[in-house]
A and B are shown apart, each in its own frame.
Chain A
Amino acid sequence: MRYHTPTSFADAAAIAAGTTGTLRFLAGGTDVLVQMRAGMVQPDDLIDLKHIPGVDKIERTAEGGWRIGVAVPGIVLGGHAELVRDWPGVVEGMNLVGSTQVQGRATLAGNLCNGSPAADSVPGMVAAGAVATVTGPNGTREIPVENIPAGPGKTNLAKGEVISAITLPPRGKNGGDAYLRFIPRTEMDIAVVGCAVNLRLDGDKVVEARVALGAVAPTVLLSEACAKAIIGTTLDDAALAALAKAAEGEAKPISDKRGTKEFRIDVAGVLARRAAKIAYDRAKGTSK
């Protein structure tokens, strides 16, 4: 195995483009190192991104959003008061990943590129409208986060491409987001279903909404039907019922060791309702 420590994303992309065998990028390592130890993957090339300047930074963008480096661990996101005030749903999703020790290493970009449909940080990012900056041999492009995963363990990144930052849009006024997952235990588990809701209010009325569902399809789903069910409503009982029905309709899960198909469909509706209420209260400013 060759271990690389490039100091720029252009170099990282060039190294990646030149590899022929199994390649892994190393950010926090909480997936890659575990998979290596378990014998699931034996990379020929391992490219450590942590030597690139800026990968550990959280910065305001000119537009008022947030640019998050690919090596910023969950615990730093959770400790960033302004970011948490803007995007509590994104941060609470990331903070559900693993243990306290894992939080000291695990990153948004790594969670995204691991390609798990159950990744806890991804629905929050998708609902928020986060964008991944991707650097490749031919330069840089911006891709909505929901278009990165291609299926379990796979991404849509081309050979030589690497995520160089995650950008969250400006929060703006009267907005709120939330993420909930279902696990049978209280922590240290993988989402059986996940759901993030991001919305904006005008008065009591929902005027914008994005709803993302995790672990109910090969990739995290951005559901237009769910958003439609609550836009224009005050999130009354009828709207919540319509949202639950829409979420159940969107869910296309499988039965596996973590839960049955029927269960996942039911719980997708339950979590959508519950997450929407939290996001609504946050947008109202009645809860954090």
Chain B
Amino acid sequence: MARDDVKTGYKYVGTRPNRPDGLDKVTGRARYGADFSLPGMLWAAVVRSPHAHARIVKIDASKALALEGVKAVVTRADLPTGLTGEDLNLQDNTLAGEKALYDGHAVAAVAATSQLLAQDAARLIEVTYEVLPHVTDVDAAMAPGAPVIRPGVADYSVPEGMHGNVARYMEFGHGDVEAGFAAADLVREHTYKTEATHQGYIEPHAAVGQLGEDGRGEMWVCTQGHWYIRRMSAAVLGIEAANLRVTPSEIGGGFGGKTTIFMEPLTLALSKKAGGRPVKLVMSRSEVLRATGPTASASMDVKIGMKKDGTITAGQVFFRMQGGAFPGMSPIGEALPCAFACYDIPALKHEAVEVIANRPKAAAYRAPGSPMAAFAVESMVDELCRELGLDPIEVRLKNGAKNGSKSSYGPVYNVIGLQETLEAAKAHPNYAIPLGPNQGRGVASGFWFNHGGETSVSLAVGEDGTATVMIGTPDIGGSRASIGLMVAETLGIPYEDVRVNVVETGALGVNEPTHGSRATFASGKAAVEAANQAIKEMCKRAAAEWEIDAEAVEWKDGAAHPAGPNAGKFPPMTIGEIGSKMGGSGGPISGHHEVTAGGYGASFGTHVVDVEVDPETGRTTVLRYLVVQDAGTAIHPAYVEGQYQGGAAQGIGWALNEEYVYGPDGRLQNPVFLDYRIPVASDLPMIDTVIVEVPNPGHPYGVRGVGETGITPPLPAIASAIAGATGARIRSLPCSPPKVLAAIKALKG
């Protein structure tokens, strides 16, 4: 779609230079969380509850403390009291208070002179538990007779008469759904379930913390957001956030799971108790799976009405989601708005409840809430399409949201690219490939809001004519390269002359984490503004030397030029010349911009997947996979494609085999990658990508966040492809072989 107000034909934006972190990562030079060490450093280990729900009667650390080399033990008694709200939840999760609320809940931590000694000491800490009844399933947690695990958890929104584990209720909608269903030719109603899945980042949580008696400290940590880590850790420990300096490491994946704290404050608490010696804590994979944020599990009722021509007349959902034993963690507030975000439907009703259960405190995971909602709604749309013999892309084109549509959750869409993704999917060769026996094709669309958020960026011009950019959003998906390209384009200097660094909390104003697909959008937008500020100053310096008005100087191709013949005849003055003389022309030149960035545009995507199902074993093979998504403008297309492929890969894992398996004792049965089955490389075909570019008018280069939408369509697309291959509709993820085989056998009768 061509628009007059969007510039195209860039020199650097849209190219694919080598990633700035690539060499460091492949040579091992990159420093991840666990790579950091300090002189005199101690190692920590954590004692975790083996019970899903238990009263902590007594903690006896005397045997551990008697070991030579053990320097400190902390329990909840070492943390301040009187916290409220989310601060209290964070503290409760850091170290259990009166009760352990899930298998793996931290109960005590110990610091010693070596990692092995710390682990030995942790085994010597004796905890006496009184085991309590537990519940881990979302529907079971709401069933009559389920143990109320935290009395009084409900907030003002919960209607009377709901189960004591219901923490929150929400509803919204528009139009007359009953009239809509009455006008439909086909109305179907089903319940869909998704299991909790983990973000599955390669790098476990790791931190080194140091805190003195004076309440001043530092932390080096693997995180998506160091200002959040600072604020949360300070709240849990009752210290001033300003006295804590937090430096982020290189990050081996986050996907939302590293936007909050889990064990980080323990390093500081132990350090303080050990006389201020630095303390390092690195989680094991089992600790990561047992005690850090998976996403919520969900149980969702969906009802949709459709006419024979494919017109959707009304939709209604009731979602139940559990995000662990702490309120506020299940993403009902995102899942409901995402449910019908791809559609323009005259009547919709949305309701949801958040339920707590004896599971770990959920964290954000790539488009929180949207994949579950899409599984329910897009599966149902596919069921209606198959029953009415309609093409799933045509039905989405007919009912899909367009520019100016009022969204399902209220706001009016400005410029969006859903229709363009559907047209591109329809035109792609994959959509025309004939299917063989036991093969099926699934289609689904997906949505993510994207985000702007608090952002602060600085830029310094070098004496050699280079530019250094300081950002506060850790780079989890290529944002350093993308921001470097945008700054290079703005300044008109080679990409190689721009260096982008993620800096610590002491170097910039507050930055929200890299979440909501915001880093390239928001830090990029601020970096462009900072560059423009530096350009203005450089034009001023040139004007002063030429003795003309600053307004008579324009910036192009990395140099100041007289704006026109009237301004005078001067040869261009390059950024290098200005930089080399800036000490004498008024001092260092820099730019800075801070903003709570608005104008982020939503990103829509459409996926097409072909699968083959072994009818004798129920095993699904993904034959080919197509991701079409709107990037606004793809600043670094290879990274954009990487985000599309990564989202699809995680979604395929969620759809096929990933799940939290709890035993009857409430213990997690599969806290290792051997049994928590994320896809391995050989499970996936090369994932085809098409980048649709409908530029976002809210960004100087038209950027939309691209990180999250891609995990949304795979869940329903895979289930629909399996339905096409077998005739069996799986409404409860994962579509694991035992479930698919049982469904095939049930069809045969």
Q: What CA separation (Å) do A55 and B680 show in the bound complex?
A: 33
- A187 contacts B682, CB within 8 Å? yes
Q: What CA separation (Å) do A271 and B611 show in the bound complex?
A: 22
Given contacts A39-B119, A257-B661, A263-B737, contact A186 B683 (CB under 8 A): yes
- B18 interface hit (Cβ, 8 Å): no
B residues less than 8 Å from A256 (CB atoms): 669
- B680 contacts A187, CB within 8 Å? yes
Q: What CA separation (Å) do A106 and B410 show in the bound complex?
A: 59
- A38 contacts B677, CB within 8 Å? no
B16 to chain A, nearest CB (A): 30
Closest 10 CB pairs of A and B: A263-B738, A186-B682, A257-B669, A257-B661, A270-B616, A260-B738, A184-B657, A257-B670, A188-B680, A186-B683
Q: What CA separation (Å) do A90 and B496 show in the bound complex?
A: 55
B residues less than 8 Å from A266 (CB atoms): 616-617, 741, 745
Interface set, chain A 44-59, CB cutoff 8 A to B? none
Using an 8 Å CB-CB cutoff, how does the interface string of B241-253 with A read, 1 for contact, 0 for none?
0000000000000
A residues less than 8 Å from B656 (CB atoms): 184
- B619 interface hit (Cβ, 8 Å): yes
- A184 contacts B737, CB within 8 Å? yes
Q: What CA separation (Å) do A235 and B176 show in the bound complex?
A: 65
- B742 interface hit (Cβ, 8 Å): yes
Interface set, chain A 215-251, CB cutoff 8 A to B? none
- B680 contacts A182, CB within 8 Å? no
User: 27 A–B contact pairs at CB < 8 A?
Assistant: A38-B286, A39-B123, A182-B619, A184-B619, A184-B656, A184-B736, A184-B737, A185-B677, A185-B680, A185-B682, A185-B683, A187-B680, A187-B682, A188-B673, A189-B674, A189-B677, A190-B674, A190-B675, A256-B669, A257-B669, A263-B618, A263-B737, A266-B616, A266-B617, A267-B617, A267-B741, A270-B617
Interface set, chain B 728-749, CB cutoff 8 A to A? 736-738, 741-742, 745
Given contacts A186-B682, A267-B741, 4 further A-B contacts (CB under 8 A): A187-B682, A257-B675, A259-B738, A266-B616
A residues less than 8 Å from B675 (CB atoms): 190, 257-258
Interface set, chain B 591-628, CB cutoff 8 A to A? 616-619
Q: What is the interface of chain B, defined by CB distance below 8 A to chain A? A: 119, 123, 284, 286, 616-619, 656-657, 661, 669-670, 672-675, 677, 679-680, 682-683, 736-738, 741-742, 745
- A202 interface hit (Cβ, 8 Å): no
A residues less than 8 Å from B286 (CB atoms): 38
B680 interface neighbour in A186, A190, A270, Cβ under 8 Å: A186
- A188 contacts B657, CB within 8 Å? no
- A262 interface hit (Cβ, 8 Å): yes
Q: What CA separation (Å) do A186 and B616 show in the bound complex?
A: 17
- A188 contacts B619, CB within 8 Å? no
How many residues in A have their beta carbons less than 8 Å from beta carbons of B? 21
Q: What CA separation (Å) do A257 and B660 show in the bound complex?
A: 9
Given contacts A184-B657, A189-B677, A270-B617, contact A263 B742 (CB under 8 A): yes
A residues less than 8 Å from B672 (CB atoms): 38
Name the residue of chain B whose CB is nearest to the CB of A258.
B675
B residues less than 8 Å from A188 (CB atoms): 673-674, 680
Q: What CA separation (Å) do A270 and B674 show in the bound complex?
A: 24
B residues less than 8 Å from A270 (CB atoms): 616-617
A residues less than 8 Å from B618 (CB atoms): 263
| A184, A190, A192, most chain B CB atoms within 10 A | A184
Name the residue of chain A whose CB is nearest to the CB of B619.
A184
B117 to chain A, nearest CB (A): 14
Q: What CA separation (Å) do A148 and B737 show in the bound complex?
A: 31
Given contacts A188-B680, A257-B661, A267-B617, contact A182 B737 (CB under 8 A): yes
Q: What CA separation (Å) do A256 and B672 show in the bound complex?
A: 15
A residues less than 8 Å from B738 (CB atoms): 259-260, 262-263
Name the residue of chain B whose CB is nearest to the CB of A99.
B680
A residues less than 8 Å from B284 (CB atoms): 38
Name the residue of chain B whose CB is nearest to the CB of A192.
B737
Using an 8 Å CB-CB cutoff, how does the interface string of A254-288 with B read, 1 for contact, 0 for none?
00111110110011001000000000000000000
Name the residue of chain A whose CB is nearest to the CB of B618.
A263
B residues less than 8 Å from A38 (CB atoms): 284, 286, 672
| A189, A257, A259, most chain B CB atoms within 10 A | A257
A residues less than 8 Å from B742 (CB atoms): 260, 262-263
A185 interface neighbour in B123, B657, B661, B670, Cβ under 8 Å: B657
Q: What CA separation (Å) do A266 and B748 show in the bound complex?
A: 15
Q: What CA separation (Å) do A287 and B679 show in the bound complex?
A: 31
Q: What CA separation (Å) do A262 and B743 show in the bound complex?
A: 12
Q: What CA separation (Å) do A190 and B669 show in the bound complex?
A: 14
Q: What CA separation (Å) do A260 and B740 show in the bound complex?
A: 12
Name the residue of chain B whose CB is nearest to the CB of A271.
B617
A residues less than 8 Å from B745 (CB atoms): 266
A residues less than 8 Å from B661 (CB atoms): 257
A residues less than 8 Å from B616 (CB atoms): 266-267, 270
B residues less than 8 Å from A190 (CB atoms): 674-675
Name the residue of chain A whose CB is nearest to the CB of B668.
A257
B residues less than 8 Å from A263 (CB atoms): 618, 737-738, 741-742
Given contacts A257-B670, A258-B675, A263-B737, contact A182 B617 (CB under 8 A): yes
Q: What CA separation (Å) do A84 and B636 show in the bound complex?
A: 49
A residues less than 8 Å from B674 (CB atoms): 188-190
Q: What CA separation (Å) do A189 and B119 show in the bound complex?
A: 28
Q: What CA separation (Å) do A52 and B376 show in the bound complex?
A: 61
Q: What CA separation (Å) do A17 and B531 show in the bound complex?
A: 75
- B617 contacts A185, CB within 8 Å? no
A231 to chain B, nearest CB (A): 24
Using an 8 Å CB-CB cutoff, how does the interface string of A160-203 with B read, 1 for contact, 0 for none?
00000000000000000000001011111110100000000000
A46 to chain B, nearest CB (A): 15
Q: What CA separation (Å) do A260 and B741 show in the bound complex?
A: 11
Q: What CA separation (Å) do A189 and B673 show in the bound complex?
A: 9
Q: What CA separation (Å) do A255 and B656 show in the bound complex?
A: 19
Q: What CA separation (Å) do A38 and B119 show in the bound complex?
A: 11
Q: What CA separation (Å) do A38 and B671 show in the bound complex?
A: 11
A residues less than 8 Å from B617 (CB atoms): 182, 266-267, 270
- A185 contacts B679, CB within 8 Å? yes
Name the residue of chain B whose CB is nearest to the CB of A190.
B674
Q: What CA separation (Å) do A38 and B285 show in the bound complex?
A: 10
Interface set, chain A 66-119, CB cutoff 8 A to B? none
Name the residue of chain A whose CB is nearest to the CB of B734.
A184
| B284, B286, B672, B737, most chain A CB atoms within 10 A | B737
A114 to chain B, nearest CB (A): 13
